[in-house]
Structure 1
Amino acid sequence: MQSGKFRRVAANNENPLWNNYVRRCEDAYGRSSEIVSDFEKDYSRILNCTAYRRLKHKTQVFFATNHDHICTRIEHVNHVAAVSYSIAKFMGLNTELSNAIAIGHDLGHAPFGHEGERILRDIIKKEISGTYWHEKNSLKFVDELETITDQMGNEENLNLTYAVRDGIISHCGEVNENSLFPRQEYIDLNEISRPNEYAPYTWEGCVVKISDKISYLGRDIEDALTLKILSIKKIKELKKMVSEFATVNVENINNTFFMNKFTIDLCENSSIEEGLRFSNKCLQLLNSIKEFNYENIYNNKRLQAFKEYVRLIIKSIYGVLINFYTDSNIFKELEAARRDYPNLIHSFKDWLIKYSISKDNILRPKNYNNKQIYNIDTKEGYTRAVVDYITGMTDNFAIKIFQELIKFE
């Protein structure tokens, strides 16, 4: 294999698009002694933000809080980082950029995985005719919701580079096409209206997009085998499918096997001229596995009770919070309910103080220099604040709040 074959199109200061790649929405504050690059700075900001920390308690596919070895969202983003690093390093691309995109790409995921996302999307569509999808929500988190503390103790938005922000909103891996190329247009990322509307702007973003798919398919099978979700018949079907690509015992069908096979195949078959691509045989296997996973894992009847449980939790929390809306003083309404729902009110009130615009928001500390994005004097603005607040929850915190809602003392 030829290594370094993408070096001349890497995101570095010799690339004619470099100024676009490193552009930030605002001037970045700096410390007196900077030793890190633009993308390393972004990586550090994402790594230290609270949304990244919460990924460790968010479901990937299986809600298994009592099982230490079932994949969570934080493990997934680190798998994506590992795969994309291997590919980017081999091809001569910018590994600092791919790392930053990878660990930030799922920051806007709802609690309880894609089921939580579907429920919140339904709420937004019904209540304010809006839209909700986790790729755009991840961009919203890094642009408007997550903050870091500057040298003066002020809370500032992350203010990431364009290339990292673009890779986050463009990472959708639910695609079947081969030969992925970056787009040529420098666009306003906030104008993107649906998943997979545009290819990423950088080759590194394209690498993360493919690495996302490489990372989750095998890991989901590994978890399904661990939890004994698959029948003997389905395991035999899986073994036959994989044996046509490689000789392997079903006991060795794990995430490491898939990541290694797909990564090597991609590196062997990709070029600047033909794009990032798999061999036909490997692409067929990848799509077959994806189809297998949807039929036997993601739509498995064992998950039905989980889906109903999640819907009850999210709809209950939303229902309680939305009923606090008033055209007089929302903060007084919340304070009056503190005795009944102490944890919920304390947390949600802090959220509104930090992020909302309101004639009644007189409690905002002076060190909050982050964007105020919700006009909660309107029903639409308040509804969006409620949905985004729930989005930020971990599974564990959502369950804790739900228990508070149904508990009487």
Structure 2
Amino acid sequence: MDVQLWKKRLEAEEKKRLSPFATLSLNAQRERDEETVKQDHRTAFSIDTDRILHSLAYTRYIDKTQVFSLIPNDHITHRVLHVQIVSRISRSIGRFLGLNVDLIEAISLGHDIGHPPFGHDGEQYLSKICHSHGIGYFVHSCQGVRFLRDVERKGRGLNLTLQVLDGILCHDGERHQREISPIRGKTFSDLLKEMEEKEQNPQKDFVPTTLEACLVRMTDVISYIGRDIEDAIRLGLIDRKDIPKECRDRLGDTNGKIVYNLVEDLIQNSFDRDTISFSKEVSEILKILRAFNMERIYLNPLIKTQAKKIENLFQYLFERLLEDVKTFNKSSPIVCDFLNGMNTRYMDSTKPEEKVRDFIAGMTDAYFLRIAREMLIPEMLPAKFK
């Protein structure tokens, strides 16, 4: 079988099958040409999905906090499950809208790779430290692009497509909006400029360059809003009857109902359009529900009792590891576990503070606590010395 001929058939079928607003695989852009990619039987965005799935950064999702940290409950959502739910919901909607589901899957699975340990709280702590050290604010969407582009494969990067990296940079699922339309025609120069600007001003909003990325951005909230409510109920933080009545009446009072009704509304208001949109009514209801989650779940003091300790550990680890980088302490975990074997491009172009940022951002919650324990708590010495 001629693999390349079959691949061309797949790409030709996309032209016939997909919406005129969809992103075709043959239009994928990479920073560096790869002969192996040209000979590959997979389409461009399918290759990106596999590269993300097999990355070390994706593997570390398994112990990355979504909302609830330090809670020994196996049924609480972690980030690895969240990105899979985003992928599933986004691809289901994408099929209805005639979009490129391979691109949707790659963006969905990679969109939260830049999150540090301990979720959004950890992001705030690390951002404050990074800014005080003159390397800009820490933004998890920028860090996700950095991991995949500059850190993976010992600093060689994965050479993902512009469309996937742009979707990761612009996913911003914490920002409420009724609708979003792509700004087409971006380049890699635009991507790097937007990263730089966002790390100087995290509130700055950048719109994706594909409709697929716009969809992932909107389905991010669909994926977590009801799921976080279920987790909070399971932990006893809220009761189901606490959900605002107007939200229960329009969207339902379970995660399944909330997801179904939000998806239905999004499809109906986005079909055959170059825009991903909720209806005005549902957008307002969703805004109320997000405010409820923020007050009763995300800012609930019952889950913040260890916050100051964690913040102090972030500060301690950053300063201690920074000193280890500057002296290239070979016994330090940042040298042994991270910098050892890094290529010269990364080593020469990355400031010591940036290396520490990258190392800490990549930690799982458990690894962060283990390293902190090893650095802070003295070990017993042998009973006798010879």
| TM bracket (short chain) | 0.7 to 0.9
State whether structure 2 residue 370 is matched by structure 1 residue 400. Answer: yes
1-side partners of 2:272 and 2:183: how far apart? 13
2-side partners of 1:388 and 1:347: how far apart? 10
Q: Provide structure 2 residue ranges, at least 5 long, that are not aligned to the other structure.
A: 1-15, 381-386
2-side partners of 1:240 and 1:374: how far apart? 57
The CA RMSD over aligned residues, in Å, is 2.3
Q: Which amino acid aligns with 2:85?
A: H
State whether structure 2 residue 127 is matched by structure 1 residue 121. Answer: yes
Is residue 348–residue 389 contact of structure 1 (8 Å, CA) maintained in 2?
Answer: no
Is residue 171–residue 205 contact of structure 1 (8 Å, CA) maintained in 2?
Answer: yes
Is residue 144–residue 157 contact of structure 1 (8 Å, CA) maintained in 2?
Answer: yes
Matches within 5 A, 1:206-355: 206-230=214-238, 232=239, 235-238=240-243, 240-246=245-251, 248=252, 250=253, 253-254=254-255, 256-273=256-273, 275-324=275-324, 326=326, 330-331=327-328, 334-335=329-330, 338=331, 345-355=332-342
Q: Residue in 2 aligned with 1:174? A: 174
Q: Please give the TM-score of this superposition, normalised by the length of structure 2.
A: 0.86
1-side partners of 2:372 and 2:191: how far apart? 35
Q: Residue in 2 aligned with 1:360? A: none
1-side partners of 2:348 and 2:232: how far apart? 40
Q: Which amino acid aligns with 1:137?
A: Q
Q: Which amino acid aligns with 1:265?
A: D
Matches within 5 A, 1:372-387: 372-373=346-347, 375=349, 381-387=351-357
Greater share of helix: 2
Q: Equivalent residue of 1:128, what SS?
A: coil
How far 1:198 sits from its partner (Å)? Answer: 1.9
Q: Provide structure 1 residue ranges, at least 5 long, that are not aligned to the other structure.
A: 149-154, 339-344, 358-370
How far 1:183 sits from its partner (Å)? Answer: 0.6
How far 1:55 sits from its partner (Å)? Answer: 0.5
How far 1:273 sits from its partner (Å)? Answer: 4.4
Q: Equivalent residue of 1:7, what SS?
A: coil
Q: Residue in 2 aligned with 1:202? A: 210
How far 1:280 sits from its partner (Å)? Answer: 1.8
Q: Residue in 2 aligned with 1:186? A: 186
Q: Percent identity?
A: 31
Which has the higher mean CA deviation after the structures are superposed, 38-47 or 283-292?
283-292
Which has the higher mean CA deviation after the structures are superposed, 28-37 or 65-74?
28-37
The verdict on how the C-alpha distance between 1:130 and 1:391 changes in structure 2, with shifts beyond 3 A counting, is same
Q: Equivalent residue of 2:105, what SS?
A: helix
Q: Please give the TM-score of this superposition, normalised by the length of structure 1.
A: 0.81
How far 1:107 sits from its partner (Å)? Answer: 0.8
Q: Which amino acid aligns with 2:182?
A: P
Q: How many residues align structurally?
A: 356
2-side partners of 1:211 and 1:142: how far apart? 22
1-side partners of 2:185 and 2:33: how far apart? 23
Is residue 135–residue 169 contact of structure 1 (8 Å, CA) maintained in 2?
Answer: yes
How far 1:257 sits from its partner (Å)? Answer: 2.2
Q: Equivalent residue of 1:82, what SS?
A: helix
2-side partners of 1:273 and 1:54: how far apart? 37
Q: Equivalent residue of 2:281, what SS?
A: helix
